[in-house]
Amino acid sequence: MSGAPLRVVFAGTPEFSVPCLEACRASGAEVVAVYTQPDRPAGRGRKLTPSPVKQAALDAGIPVEQPESLKSQEARDTLAAYRPDLMVVVAYGLILPRKVLALPRLGCWNVHASLLPRWRGAAPIQRAILAGDTESGVDLMQMEAGLDTGPVLLERRTPISREDTGGSLHDRLSALGANALAEGLRRVMAGESLAAKPQPEEGVIYAHKLDKAEARLDFQRPALELERQIRAFNPWPVAEGEFAGEHLRVWNATAIDDAPSAAPGTVVGASARGIAIACGQGTLVVTELQRAGGKRITAADFLNARADLRTAR
């Protein structure tokens, strides 16, 4: 593409979106505005805090827009005034009405953290770990009116290991998303038209928003399911449960496929390597945890204060 640079409006809010904003800036495109959610209260003081994307935009000297909605004529007029060739949307958090999708010359692209059509919706990263998926990825998608229904332009894949947490997979997919977006922008600016591949009609699953209530550990369930729950909810909302006579948050644990030797929820062993808890199927060995009002500690540190548990077999 020759002449004037591609005019891009970027829309995103959380930390996940920041590498994609940087990829837009590094591509040679002109990021003419950044749209992000209004500032929200955060921290103990509940002070209004800018989103990570807003902070990155301010640092780069890019105009920032924070409408509560894009449904009004005024909001559309503001967007149209930036004369975008393309709008790039990454975990923005607001629905784009049809009239907004039609505004940019090249439409709107979305970077989504799953292999579509599996895990459309709000929490694809955690849902993939919870379900025991062995693979995830990011799709660069041409947006249409449905929720994550548009055709896929580019895809990046990555395996999910038993060491992956919601946090580690988030960071990897964030980088992969920026990589896919950078390639898409490079190819379009070189004059290429990206082939849009329609999503299969089979295999659609929705990744519903996370609820803190889901973080509660039920030791009647198989240990492997609890291990996935703990990994998926690290770093938020963090799994929690009752064992060893306390209410504890669990940051890391490993499932062992053995025959339970006691009632579910019973501590059946405790050493510096971990606290073993009987489950409905198998044993869960907790290696990192947190007491009420305390900080994250290893099982070894926890047992220094709970020598009574060392007698558990």
194 known member of a binding site = no
CA distances to 28, 86, 264 from 305, rounded to whole Å, are 57, 58, 24
- What whole-number distance in Å separates Cα of residue 123 and Cα of residue 237? 12
**Is 2 a known ligand-binding residue?**
no
* C-alpha to C-alpha distance for 124 and 114, rounded to whole angstroms: 6
* 235 labelled ligand-binding: no
| Residue 261 marked as a ligand binder | no
Neighbours of 154 (CB within 10 A): 20
Residues at the annotated binding site for (6S)-5,6,7,8-tetrahydrofolate?
114-117
Residues at the annotated binding site?
114-117
